[in-house]
């Protein structure tokens, strides 16, 4: 199929369809399915639409032009903003609810002003080895349908909501990329989210995982390509344009902890510019995550930080892109066949999940679910 990228075989296999069964559902021969997957046959519009419907994908998921990124085609609805919601800007998320004849829009709080989800409370102060006892709220509760993920991308919460449709729960442990990989190496989590860029090769995650784990012991699955950059106050009142501006006397920042991907990014850029950390006001001020960092900018505590475009949009902040990089999910190979992990991997390729993540801004999900290692 000259000039067209073909993902039909990959998506068909993820959905668990044989070529014969898919052919039956879209009313073509099995040979036609194989010909399309081989790139020797171009389907007409009707066949392409049938394939997309059966596989719960878009036509663009199945057949795309090289390098083309298709923005999600989202419908537009008139809504009534819930009174007291504050000032909103284009790109900020809201939740919708039908109240009588009005479709109401309420912006969710990026700061958790509610009790976190929990199953138990600690009853004994933890020992040095991390052992303790807990009181479980529900005596018959079982936890085998859960997948424990360590990572720092707030977008994983979108994945968690969509995986629930398969009866699987994701338990999200907020850790930076280095910490997440360390937990995976200890064997105490199923999945580690990471965005560690190798400065020498420019490759995301694979070099670092190769250094930490034995060969062929870990699978690496793409989650999304996201944008990282400088987050500023709305309207950028300090006229910040680049990392070099961080050294200005009138600019303050909030940094990320050691081991965080954005900390690596900042340090590498400062090194290239020959700017010492001591010149940066706020370099030692730490935020544990993209959203907490962006929140400090939103609250006026600092002038800027480095975070993702999506984090900036949640708070209606300015964003200056620095680079695009891949956020991956690292999984021990012995866990790949777990039903929960299989449900997670299947969800990565579903249109509904990808549309919502892309709608948050700064996420490119074309490679979501593809195996990188």
Per-residue confidence (pLDDT) for residue 226, from 0 to 100: 93
- In the predicted structure, residue 72 carries a pLDDT above the cut 90: no
Between residues 172 and 117, the one the model is more confident about: 172
The whole-number pLDDT of residue 56 equals 83
| Residue-range domains of the chain with CATH | 5-64 (1.10.260.40), 74-109 (no CATH), 143-223+327-364 (3.40.190.10), 228-324 (3.40.190.10)
Lowest mean pLDDT among 58-67, 77-86, 147-156, 233-242: 58-67
Contacts of 88 (CB under 8 A, 6+ apart): 81, 94, 107, 316
* pLDDT for res 67: 63
- Mean of pLDDT values over 291-300: 96
CA atoms of 100 and 277, how far apart (whole Å): 56
Higher-confidence position of 224 and 200: 224
- pLDDT, average across residues 296-307: 97
User: What per-residue confidence (pLDDT) applies to 1?
Assistant: 44
pLDDT tens for residues 38-69?
Answer: 877 888 888 999 999 898 888 888 887 766 55
Write down the mean pLDDT value for the chain.
89
State the residue for tokens 């695009």.
Answer: 324
Provide the pLDDT confidence category of residue 241 given band limits of 50, 70 and 90.
very high
**pLDDT on residue 348:** 94
Average pLDDT over residues 231-254: 97
pLDDT in tens, 143-172: 888 999 999 999 999 999 999 988 899 999
Whether 70 has a pLDDT exceeding 70, the answer reads no
Residue 17 has pLDDT above 50, yes or no: yes
Angle between helices 339-348 and 8-15 (to 10 degrees): 140
| High-pLDDT (> 70) share of the chain, % | 96
Can you give the pLDDT at residue 13? 80
Rounded to whole angstroms, the maximal C-alpha distance in the chain is: 69
């Amino acid at each position: 199929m000259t000039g067209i990228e073909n993902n039909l075989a990959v998506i068909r296999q993820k959905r668990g369809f044989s070529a014969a069964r898919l052919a039956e559902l879209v009313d073509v021969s099995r040979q036609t399915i194989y010909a399309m997957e081989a790139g020797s046959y171009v389907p007409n519009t009707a066949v392409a639409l049938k394939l997309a419907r059966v596989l719960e994908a878009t036509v663009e998921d199945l057949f795309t032009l090289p390098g083309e990124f298709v923005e999600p085609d989202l419908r537009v609805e008139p809504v009534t903003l819930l009174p007291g919601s504050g000032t909103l800007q284009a790109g900020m998320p809201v939740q919708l609810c039908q109240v009588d004849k009005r479709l109401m829009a309420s912006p969710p709080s990026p700061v958790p002003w509610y009790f976190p989800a929990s199953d138990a409370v600690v009853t004994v102060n933890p020992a040095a080895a991390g052992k303790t006892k807990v009181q479980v709220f529900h005596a018959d509760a079982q936890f085998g349908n859960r997948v424990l993920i360590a990572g720092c991308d707030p977008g994983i919460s979108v994945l968690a909501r969509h995986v629930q449709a398969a009866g699987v729960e994701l338990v999200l442990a907020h850790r930076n990329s280095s910490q997440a990989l360390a937990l995976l190496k200890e064997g105490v989590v199923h999945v580690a989210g990471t965005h560690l860029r190798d400065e020498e090769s420019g490759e995301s995650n694979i070099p670092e995982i190769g250094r930490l784990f034995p060969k062929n012991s870990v699978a690496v699955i793409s989650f999304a390509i996201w944008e990282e950059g400088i987050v500023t106050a709305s309207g950028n009142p300090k006229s910040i344009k680049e990392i070099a501006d961080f050294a200005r006397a009138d600019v303050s920042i909030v940094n990320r902890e050691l081991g965080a991907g954005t900390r690596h990014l900042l340090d590498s850029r400062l090194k290239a510019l020959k700017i010492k950390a001591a010149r940066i006001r706020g370099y030692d001020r730490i935020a544990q995550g993209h959203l907490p960092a962006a929140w400090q900018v939103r609250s006026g505590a600092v002038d800027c930080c480095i975070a993702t475009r999506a984090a900036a949009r949640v708070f209606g902040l300015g964003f200056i892109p620095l680079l695009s990089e891949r956020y991956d999910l690292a999984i021990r190979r012995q866990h790949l066949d777990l039903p929960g992990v299989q449900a997670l991997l299947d969800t990565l390729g579903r249109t509904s999940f990808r549309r919502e993540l892309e709608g948050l801004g700064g996420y490119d999900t074309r490679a979501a679910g593809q195996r990188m290692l």
